Copies of this chain bind each other. A is one copy, B any other.
Amino acid sequence: MEHLEIERKFLVKSEAYKKAASTSTRIVQGFLNTDPKRTVRVRIKGDKGFLTVKGESNESGTTRFEWETQINLVEATNLIDLCEAVILEKMRFEVPYKKHLFEVDEFLGENKGLVVAEVELQHEDEIFEKPDWLGAEVTGEVKYYNSQLSKVPFCKW
């Protein structure tokens, strides 16, 4: 399935999002290519595998072409073995707030200490209400791309 992914990304100021979360799922992911022009990601989310290709962002960093397919879990594990270091691990919390769903990623391992929230939008200038725990916007900042966190993890910033 392909679509234009339109999303904004923020830092997180407090752990209040955890109380408001509807689900939390462990994610392990690696990259077969970290080039922002053609990112290829292998992800295990809970008990499901996914392969995802993303294109380059537009100027504001909000919108990217995204193609994703679900794949077999064993195959996903084998594909992660082919990925570039570092393999990312994080807990993802789904946090509904007003009319939007925020996805909060609490990174583990070499990115421990980093927590970011993303909200997916229907169009670039869509208005959404911000929960109290939402911090500074980092949309389009390349160092926060997961593909870049796998090359230069948070512990090295």
Contact = CB atoms under 8 A, between A and B. Distances in A.
Interface residues of A, number: 21
Interface stretch (A79-87, A117-125, A127-135): A79-87
A6 to B, nearest CB: 17
22 contacts: A1-B75, A2-B75, A32-B38, A32-B40, A32-B53, A33-B33, A33-B35, A33-B38, A37-B82, A38-B82, A38-B83, A40-B40, A51-B51, A51-B69, A53-B79, A55-B82, A65-B82, A67-B75, A67-B78, A67-B79, A69-B69, A69-B71
Nearest to A70: B69
Nearest to A37: B82
